[in-house]
Amino acid sequence: MEGRKAVGLAARDTTGFLSPYTFNLRKTGPEDVALKVLYCGIDHTDLHQMRNEIHGTAYPLVPGHEVVGEVVELGSEVKKFKVGDKVGVGCMIWSCGKCSDCKSNSEQYCSQKILTVNGKYEDGTPTHGGFSSAMVVHQRQALPCHTAALFKPNCGDCRFVVRIPENLAPEQAAPLLCAGVTAYSPLKQFIGINKVVRGGILGLGGVGHLGVIIAKALGHHVTVISSSERKREEALKHLGADAFLVSSNAADMEAAADSFDYILDTVPVLHPLRSYLSLLKVDGKLVIVAAVPQPLQFDAVELILGKKNISGSFIGSMEETQEILEFWAEKGLTTMIETVKADYVNKAFERMERNDVRYRFVLDLAASNLH
């Protein structure tokens, strides 16, 4: 059923060029939240998708999965929000709610999940993301929310639409909905470890800079591993990293061998894993979050002799998404963003691709004239 009209920015082909696109949102159902989009972060995954580099893109594609909006209409069953509330939507908008992943609060791994961008509803209609004036999102009443118990008792469940804490600026919140939770979810495994954890953040971009801030807030000793000297001062002074390593500096890389408990790999292009695996201690973990379009290579013998681990990690659960928002607000952390209007979007992607953003573009859609 058709509801209100939305104007978005869509890619029509593999050039990834974005231009205005008008489409119909579905009618707001009983468990839906309709929102006016205020801000949306620009993630490198958007670029991969716009260019059909991963997962087969269906065009027209409206990107955007770090969405902060204001509730404009609520379905009759939605109890947790009221009109005017600030809410967030991340990478997924639905999961089955029945499989073991859904039941264990890991619904990001549900095989039936529907992604916010380049997904399909049951009836085959494509999903459209947050580079848009408005969205309608299902807020499933499902499992009890553990985060609610941790932070705000009885706030209800937290599925697919999350609450933006009152003391967190909406544009600050946007990058947390994908990049932030993508770093937070794998780093959480080190909480409660009773020693100084030594971590490496490989690639200081959108995900990487939030990785540094989160790892520092968790008390880790943090080294930024970067492709050049350019970000050294900002990494150490502005982001509070403890050390900075340039991946092309063979002597420094050698000196840092066998010293990391983990490396969070955020580099979105082909890169040799071998030199990074050698930085890990015995049993150390290389956590790959970057969606590199080509196959990556590593040396099996090095992996074996060092008992090293390579793993992947996909965003985080909805519970973790709410958790990182609360974590940010409680600790008074700052997301480093450059806010731009919709008419700058193609330029923003061009700059992101040439590694010229500190560290996340956020589209100010409410202040943009999309029509």
* Residue 227 binds: one of Zn ion, ligand NAP, none (C-beta under 5 to 8 A by kind): ligand NAP
43 lies in the binding site for ligand NAP (CB under 6 A) = yes
275 lies in the binding site for ligand NAP (CB under 6 A) = no
Q: Which is nearer to ligand NAP, 62 or 212 (CB)?
A: 212
Tell me how many residues contact ligand NAP (CB under 6 A).
28
231 lies in the binding site for ligand NAP (CB under 6 A) = yes
Q: Which is nearer to ligand NAP, 69 or 211 (CB)?
A: 211
Q: Which of 7, 43, 54, 182 is nearest to 108 (CA)?
A: 182
Binding residue for ligand NAP (CB under 6 A) from 62, 176, 315, 342? 315
> Helix axis angle, 179-187 relative to 206-217, nearest 10°?
40
Q: Which of 276, 277, 280 is nearest to 260 (CA)?
A: 280
270 lies in the binding site for ligand NAP (CB under 6 A) = no
The least CB distance from residue 73 to ligand NAP, in Å, is 29
For 166, half-sphere exposure in the C-beta direction (CA atoms, 13 angstrom radius) is 2
Q: Which is nearer to Zn ion, 29 or 97 (CB)?
A: 97
291 lies in the binding site for ligand NAP (CB under 6 A) = yes
Encoded one letter per residue, x for contact with ligand NAP by CB under 6 A and - for no contact, window 206-225 reads xxx-----------------
The residues facing 363 across adjacent strands are 40, 340
Binding residue for ligand NAP (CB under 6 A) from 290, 324, 336, 362? 290
205 lies in the binding site for ligand NAP (CB under 6 A) = yes
Q: Which is nearer to Zn ion, 92 or 352 (CB)?
A: 92
Rounded to an integer, what distance in angstroms lies between the CA atom of residue 262 and that of residue 321?
Answer: 22
For 271, the token pair is: 């890169």
Binding residue for ligand NAP (CB under 6 A) from 314, 341, 344, 346? 314
Q: Which residues bind Zn ion (CB under 5 A)?
A: 95-96, 99, 102, 110
318 lies in the binding site for ligand NAP (CB under 6 A) = no
* Residue 205 binds: one of ligand NAP, Zn ion, none (C-beta under 5 to 8 A by kind): ligand NAP
Q: Which amino acid is at 130?
A: G
Give CA separation, 259 vs 105, 225, 254, 349, in Å: 33, 13, 10, 35
- 120 CA to centre of own chain: 20
Name which of residues 19 to 38 contact ligand NAP (CB under 6 A). none
Q: Which of 112, 162, 114, 165 is nearest to 139 (CA)?
A: 162
Q: Which is nearer to ligand NAP, 41 or 284 (CB)?
A: 41
Contact 95, 102 (CB under 8 A): yes
For 255, the token pair is: 């000196």
* Helices and strands of the chain, counted as H and E runs: 12, 17
Give CA separation, 25 vs 133, 136, 217, 242, 368, in Å: 11, 7, 40, 47, 20
**Binding segment (CB under 6 A) for ligand NAP, from list 55-63, 71-79, 188-196, 267-275:** 267-275
**Binding segment (CB under 6 A) for ligand NAP, from list 71-79, 226-234, 301-309, 319-327:** 226-234
Q: Which is nearer to ligand NAP, 28 or 116 (CB)?
A: 116
| Helix, strand, or coil (residue 188) | helix
Contact 316, 181 (CB under 8 A): yes
Contact 303, 286 (CB under 8 A): no
Q: Can you give the binding site for ligand NAP, defined by CB under 6 A?
A: 43-45, 48, 178-179, 182, 203-208, 226-227, 231, 266-269, 289-291, 313-315, 352, 355
